[in-house]
């Protein structure tokens, strides 16, 4: 099977390539990259005016299977990923039962094999049942294919246990993805603490609830030498902590989510729970700090924290509503619109944070479309202005504050291992 992608702007940050050219895919591998490739192919994609990039990698996705299949399944979540240009997604362990054992990792892999249209890499929990009491079987999970460990949705509050987990996970060369939140400082908050929460009369979540744990985790990573990655950084304080850690040479990376670099808490105006997520939309100063941290690479990864919920879990009292929004089908649009059009990142820098950088965090051979690599490819239309329409999402979740938003940036083709799964912006 020969697939030829012609006339695109090939952006492959892994090889510092940003130039017009053709890519030839034979079976599941990149066979050739050149300015012009003249060959007979089974399928030709004209990518004139489009970006041709490695398929995106999302370190932070909730697929909800097992336990919450009414919110999302591995099938629907993977289709949403494909629609967003993602070819590899890492799913968080806050399932029911929790993904804290070899058998659970095997289950997700089996399900993904059967029904996913993109690569799905399970993330194992740090502690059994995410209860924060005893270590989960990190070694067995890593051997079974867990790409990382994380307690996502909460922090391991026992610092001694967390330090042991860091020391232990080093043996398996997998990163720890850390959700930084001290619940005792959150105190039932539902949105960012600030002028807007005062106007709305909603209980605020202060920045320090994130900052104190980010600080603790960085110190522990520094002392253990573990690979630490901070999830969904939302505060200027965390950014400052990361900068200082990098200056000391600490092995810590970080991700930011599209909603955190696009919207501030001023978007919370109507008790519509589609603006409710954890960490919350922060102040304008925090948003600016996140954008600048992406610009100077203090934050090197963009991840979605795709968190689908049913309509009933969102269309209710703000305090009662579930935290989280979907993100797979809007990520590239917000990246292009906010960061590239906004002058914070070049297209190549944006793509780097969605491809090779997350691959390096995991230590996997992906996110690169050099010759010989697996043909995980996205073709992006970064020019056409369009309105986000949540009703058209492949995800079961429609919970997004971006419905109706005018944006640029859409995946028109997604190719996974040489197979076209999205064609002309529709599921193939």
Q: Which residues bind another protein (CB under 8 A)?
A: 184, 187-188, 193-195, 197-204, 270-271, 312, 315-320
Give residues with Cβ within 8 angstroms of 138, minimum separation 6: 124, 126, 146, 149, 165, 168, 169, 172
Give residues with Cβ within 8 angstroms of 14, minimum separation 6: 54, 355, 356, 367, 368, 369, 370
CB of 184 vs another protein, minimal distance in Å? 8
CB of 319 vs another protein, minimal distance in Å? 4
Q: What angle do CA 275, 354, 166 make, to 5 degrees?
A: 85
Given the complex with another protein, which of 60 and 276 has the nearer CB atom? 276
Considering the candidates 211, 305, 368, 376, report the single residue annotated as catalytic: 305
Given the complex with another protein, which of 157 and 364 has the nearer CB atom? 157
Strand partners, 220: none
CB of 200 vs another protein, minimal distance in Å? 7
CB of 188 vs another protein, minimal distance in Å? 5
Given the complex with another protein, which of 323 and 386 has the nearer CB atom? 323
Q: CA dist 148 to 10, 124, 229, 307, 400, Å?
A: 30, 6, 10, 18, 27
Question: Are residues 136 and 104 in contact, defined by beta-carbon separation less than 8 angstroms?
Answer: no
Given the complex with another protein, which of 76 and 197 has the nearer CB atom? 197
Distance CA 367, CA 72 (A): 25
How big is the chain, counted in residues? 428
HSE of 39, CA atoms in CB hemisphere, 13 A: 21
Strand partners, 398: none
Given the complex with another protein, which of 318 and 405 has the nearer CB atom? 318
Q: Is 182 marked active-site? A: no
Given the complex with another protein, which of 168 and 271 has the nearer CB atom? 271
CB of 197 vs another protein, minimal distance in Å? 7
CB of 266 vs another protein, minimal distance in Å? 13
Phi/psi of residue 55, each to 5°?
Answer: -60, 145
Given the complex with another protein, which of 98 and 193 has the nearer CB atom? 193
Q: CA dist 260 to 62, 227, 237, 255, 287, Å?
A: 17, 24, 14, 10, 6
Q: CA dist 341 to 186, 232, 252, 409, Å?
A: 34, 22, 28, 10
CB of 274 vs another protein, minimal distance in Å? 13
CB of 59 vs another protein, minimal distance in Å? 33
Given the complex with another protein, which of 282 and 353 has the nearer CB atom? 282
CB of 73 vs another protein, minimal distance in Å? 24
Given the complex with another protein, which of 201 and 372 has the nearer CB atom? 201
Distance CA 342, CA 337 (A): 7
Strand partners, 31: none
Phi/psi of residue 25, each to 5°?
Answer: -110, 125
Which are the catalytic amino acids? 305
């Amino acid at each position: 099977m020969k697939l030829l992608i012609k006339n695109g702007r090939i952006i492959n940050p892994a090889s510092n390539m940003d130039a017009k050219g053709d890519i030839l895919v034979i079976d599941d591998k990149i066979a050739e990259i050149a300015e012009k490739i003249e060959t007979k192919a089974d399928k030709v994609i004209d990518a004139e005016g489009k970006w041709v990039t490695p398929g995106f990698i999302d370190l932070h996705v909730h697929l909800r299977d097992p336990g919450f299949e009414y919110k999302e399944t591995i099938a629907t979540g993977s289709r949403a990923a494909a629609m967003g240009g993602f070819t590899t997604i890492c799913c968080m362990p806050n399932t029911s039962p929790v993904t804290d054992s070899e058998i659970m990792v095997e289950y997700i892999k089996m399900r993904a094999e059967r029904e996913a249209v993109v690569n799905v890499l399970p993330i194992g929990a740090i502690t059994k049942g995410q209860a924060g009491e005893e270590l989960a079987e990190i070694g067995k999970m890593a051997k079974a294919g867990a790409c990382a460990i994380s307690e996502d949705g909460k922090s391991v509050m026992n610092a001694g246990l967390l330090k042991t987990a860091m020391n232990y996970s080093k043996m398996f060369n997998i990163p720890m993805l850390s959700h930084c939140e001290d619940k005792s400082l959150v105190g039932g908050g539902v949105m960012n603490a600030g002028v807007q929460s005062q106007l709305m009369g909603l209980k605020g979540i202060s920045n320090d609830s994130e900052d104190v744990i980010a600080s603790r985790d960085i110190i522990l990573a520094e002392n253990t030498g573990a690979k630490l990655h901070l999830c969904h950084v939302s505060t200027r304080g965390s950014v400052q902590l990361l900068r200082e850690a990098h200056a000391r040479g600490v092995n810590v990376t970080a991700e930011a989510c599209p909603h955190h670099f696009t919207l501030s808490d001023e978007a919370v105006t109507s008790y519509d729970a589609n603006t409710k997520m954890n960490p919350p939309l922060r102040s304008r100063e925090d948003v600016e700090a996140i954008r600048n941290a992406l610009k100077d690479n203090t934050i090197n990864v963009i991840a979605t924290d795709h968190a689908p919920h049913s309509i009933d879990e969102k269309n209710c009292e703000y305090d009662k509503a579930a935290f989280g929004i979907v993100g797979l089908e809007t990520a590239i649009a917000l990246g292009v619109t906010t960061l590239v059009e906004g002058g914070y990142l070049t297209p190549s820098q944006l793509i780097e944070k969605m491809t090779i950088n997350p691959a390096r965090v995991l230590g996997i051979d992906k996110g690169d479309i050099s010759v010989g690599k697996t043909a995980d490819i996205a073709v992006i239309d970064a020019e056409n202005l369009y309105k986000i329409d949540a009703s058209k999402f492949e995800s079961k979740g429609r919970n997004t504050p971006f419905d109706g938003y005018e944006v640029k940036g859409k995946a028109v083709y997604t190719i996974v291992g040489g197979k076209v799964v999205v064609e002309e912006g529709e599921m193939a």
